[in-house]
Amino acid sequence: MAKLKLASYWAAACGGCDTAILDIHEKILDLAAAADIVFWPIALDFKYADVEAMPDGNIDVTLFHGAVRNSENEHLAKLLRAKSKVLVAFGTCAHIGGIPSLANLFNKQSIFKRVYHDSPSTVNSDGVEPQPKTKVPEGEITIPQFYDTVWPLDHIVDVDYYVPGCPPTPKQIWSVVTTIVSGQLPPKGSVVGASEKTQCDECPRQKHEKKITGFKRIATAQPEQETCYLEQGFLCLGPVTRGGCDTRCQLSGVACRGCYGPPPGVLDQGAKAISAIASVIDATDPAEIERIISEIPDPLRSFNRFGIGGSLLVRKAL
Amino acid sequence: MKRISIDPITRLEGHGKIEIFLADDGSVANCYFQVPELRGFEKFVEGMPMEEVPRVVSRICGV
Amino acid sequence: MTSFQPKIIGILCNWCSYTGADLAGTARIKYAPNVRVIRVMCSGRVDPTFVLKAFADGADGVLVAGCHPGDCHYIDGNYKTMRRMALLKKLLADYGIEPNRFRLEWVSASEGDRWAEVVNRITEDVRKLGPAKFRAKAKRRAEVSVA
């Protein structure tokens, strides 16, 4: 059987997804036996020009991670879509915008102002900002255009599968690789490498009846380690987050912040989070309700930490 | 003037490109290293509770 | 110059607010026609997702109406509504949506007049704010114009 052609690319990313792929450890040899990797910037020296020269559909599967933040990310999304038979939105950023999509509460102007002018360690008396084109004595050099909005991959191109997680766990990555190699692919548009239930289904903490009368922060209070976080008043997005990661955060002493994205059937993780959590707040008086919910600082970024780009409204109106 | 583009630079974390301009005799006339990425962490963590920031800024680099 | 006609989505509970709206109709009360009504059995059925989707899909304003606290046909559905909508208002503020674009109101089955007032008030509040501009910045893939 001919070896599969595989590619892995990072857009507005951190390298964590590639590191998670490498964390399959010695199984990388099995991967190399089954597939030729034809584009993988973190590990191999193929260039954009090499991808551009490929015939369309040349790559069997591309794992695209990172969100679309600038014109180069958009160009590569469209290029890899054309050159790939199967395009996978790999990792939370490509799936639902990820941490970079927290920037959707701001815009290019306010981000550039902070980064290039106002940040305490910056000295920029000439007020220089990066420009897409710069004339130099030898000609012209270019960098990508920075967009106001960060987009998940499926807002830019057609996506075949989604692998959630920030990053996806190596165990799940291996199960996705074996599925790909087997050729037994699920229906297009499926989320793979994750459970069909929520975090709560896998979480080992004790669950009792939830009646929240106040919210606590780990900055000022210590959770006990055997009981459900939400019951103790610590915000946990477990009830509205897809399972599959073996509750790695909850087992490490912190509550879930939702990186595996919404459970099946949920369109907006943040909306569902407030719906679920409001259901178990124990108050019927408006003033008391207001007192309790005011104990959650920074609502949008608390109820939707990883998926603002993939939320229904995508960004803050500015 | 001949121009060599190395795009992207590879086998490290992050995006980068290098433009090399060669004079007629083949020597390097000039060389530019460019960083074509920015995500803006220093801006978008503004206003977050401080105990939430570590789990966000760990995503600056996953390596 | 024609004045801007807001498109407002109203999600009304069957037992109280929808019946109250019906009463406004049978009593021939004249009021602004800008609210498109969706009937649900209880305001507790209103998932905050519905409100966000309405805004994302083109609404200039959204109105959720239910029974007065204590009068819910399903006993405590509207208390859940109260808590959900209180949190939703904070989320909407973080998304940059002006507070007057979203209202939660209690309208009983006998309050035809009140229904008319509620509709007139939200219509005028949204008219003053103008068309929702945030949509232009968040287009879906079909018409992606990344800026």
Mean pLDDT of A61-86: 98
Cβ contact A279–C84 (<8 Å): yes
In this complex, which chains have at least 3 CB pairs below 8 Å with chain C? Answer: A
Minimal CA separation from A187 to chain B, in Å: 31
Given pLDDT bands bounded at 50, 70 and 90, which one contains residue C2? low
Rounded-to-10 torsion of CA A115, A120, A122, A127: 70
Preferred mutation among C87, C88, C139, C144 to probe A, highest tally of A CBs within 10 A = C87
CATH 3.30.70 fits domain C8-143: no
How confident is the model over A1-22, as pLDDT tens digits? 689 999 999 999 999 999 999 9
For residues A231 and A207, the answer to whether their CB atoms sit within 8 Å is yes
Mean pLDDT of A210-214: 95
Cβ contact B10–A46 (<8 Å): yes
What is the average pLDDT score of chain B?
96
> CA–CA separation, C37 vs C21, rounded Å?
9
* Dihedral-angle region of residue A31 (phi above 0 means left; psi in -120 to 50 means alpha; beta otherwise): alpha
How confident is the model over B32-49, as pLDDT tens digits? 999 999 999 999 999 999
Minimal CA separation from B55 to chain A, in Å: 9
Q: What are the helix (H) ranges across chain A? A: 16-22, 27-34, 48-52, 71-83, 92-96, 108-113, 170-182, 199-202, 229-232, 248-251, 269-279, 286-293, 299-303
How confident is the model over C65-124, as pLDDT tens digits? 999 999 999 999 999 999 999 999 999 999 999 999 999 999 999 999 999 999 999 999
Q: Look at residue C143 in the predicted model and tell me its pLDDT.
A: 41
Sign of the CA dihedral C130, C48, A66, A80?
Answer: negative
Q: How many CB pairs under 8 A join A and B?
A: 130
Minimal CA separation from A273 to chain C, in Å: 9
Sign of the CA dihedral A227, A229, A232, A237?
Answer: negative
Separation of CA B22 from chain center: 23
**Is residue A115 less than 8 Å (CB to CB) from chain B?**
yes
**Is residue A130 less than 8 Å (CB to CB) from chain B?**
yes
Q: Look at residue C133 in the predicted model and tell me its pLDDT.
A: 77
Residue C13 has pLDDT above 70, yes or no: yes
Mean pLDDT of A250-270: 97
Tokens 């597939």, residue located: A35
**Is residue C84 less than 8 Å (CB to CB) from chain A?**
yes
Preferred mutation among A8, A52, A70, A99 to probe B, highest tally of B CBs within 10 A = A99
Cβ contact A45–B10 (<8 Å): yes
**Is residue A153 less than 8 Å (CB to CB) from chain B?**
no
Mean pLDDT of C121-139: 82
Residue C141 has pLDDT above 60, yes or no: no
> CA–CA separation, A280 vs C87, rounded Å?
13
Q: Look at residue B63 in the predicted model and tell me its pLDDT.
A: 87
How confident is the model over A144-189, as pLDDT tens digits? 999 999 999 999 999 999 999 999 999 999 999 999 999 999 999 9
Q: Look at residue B7 in the predicted model and tell me its pLDDT.
A: 96
Q: Look at residue A48 in the predicted model and tell me its pLDDT.
A: 97
Domains and CATH numbers, chain A: 4-99+148-182 (3.40.50.700), 106-147 (no CATH), 199-303 (no CATH)
Complex confidence, ipTM: 0.95
Q: Look at residue A1 in the predicted model and tell me its pLDDT.
A: 66
Cβ atoms within 10 Å of A219's Cβ, excluding its own: 10
How confident is the model over A18-60, as pLDDT tens digits? 999 999 999 999 999 999 999 999 999 999 999 999 999 999 9
For residues C96 and A317, the answer to whether their CB atoms sit within 8 Å is yes
Between positions 158 and 197 of A, the ones with CB within 8 A of B are: 166-167
Q: Is A312 helix (H, G, I), strand (E, B) or coil?
A: coil
**Is residue C137 less than 8 Å (CB to CB) from chain A?**
yes
Chain A residue set in contact with C, beta carbons under 8 Å = 68, 71, 74, 105, 147-149, 151, 154-157, 266-268, 270-272, 274-275, 277-279, 281, 283-284, 286, 289-290, 293, 298-301, 303, 311-318
Nearest CA in chain B to A68: B39
Q: Look at residue C75 in the predicted model and tell me its pLDDT.
A: 96
Question: What is the total count of domains within chain B?
Answer: 1
Cβ contact A300–C87 (<8 Å): no
Residue C142 has pLDDT above 80, yes or no: no
- How large a percentage of chain A has pLDDT more than 90? 99
Q: Look at residue A318 in the predicted model and tell me its pLDDT.
A: 87
What is the average pLDDT score of chain A?
96
3-state secondary structure A279-295: HCECCCCHHHHHHHHCC
For residues C84 and A275, the answer to whether their CB atoms sit within 8 Å is yes
Cβ contact A317–C133 (<8 Å): yes
How confident is the model over A103-132, as pLDDT tens digits? 999 999 999 999 999 999 999 999 999 999
Chain B residue set in contact with A, beta carbons under 8 Å = 1, 3, 5-8, 10-15, 17, 19, 21, 29-30, 32, 34-40, 42-52, 55-56, 59-63
Domain boundaries, chain C: 8-143
Given pLDDT bands bounded at 50, 70 and 90, which one contains residue C139? low
- Range of the structural domain that residue B46 is part of: 2-60
Query: Can you spell out the DSSP letters for C80-101?
Result: HHHHHHHHHHHHHHHTT--GGG
> CA–CA separation, A178 vs A193, rounded Å?
11
How confident is the model over A77-109, as pLDDT tens digits? 999 999 999 999 999 999 999 999 999 999 999
Residue C135 has pLDDT above 90, yes or no: no
Q: Look at residue A97 in the predicted model and tell me its pLDDT.
A: 98
- At A223, give phi and psi (nearest 5°): -75, 150
Residue C137 has pLDDT above 80, yes or no: no
Mean pLDDT of B5-27: 96
**pTM of the predicted protein model:** 0.94
**Is residue A91 less than 8 Å (CB to CB) from chain B?**
no
Nearest CA in chain B to A99: B56
**Is residue A309 less than 8 Å (CB to CB) from chain B?**
no
Residue C147 has pLDDT above 90, yes or no: no
Q: Which of B8, B43, B61 minimises the CB distance to A14?
A: B61
How confident is the model over B49-60, as pLDDT tens digits? 999 999 999 999
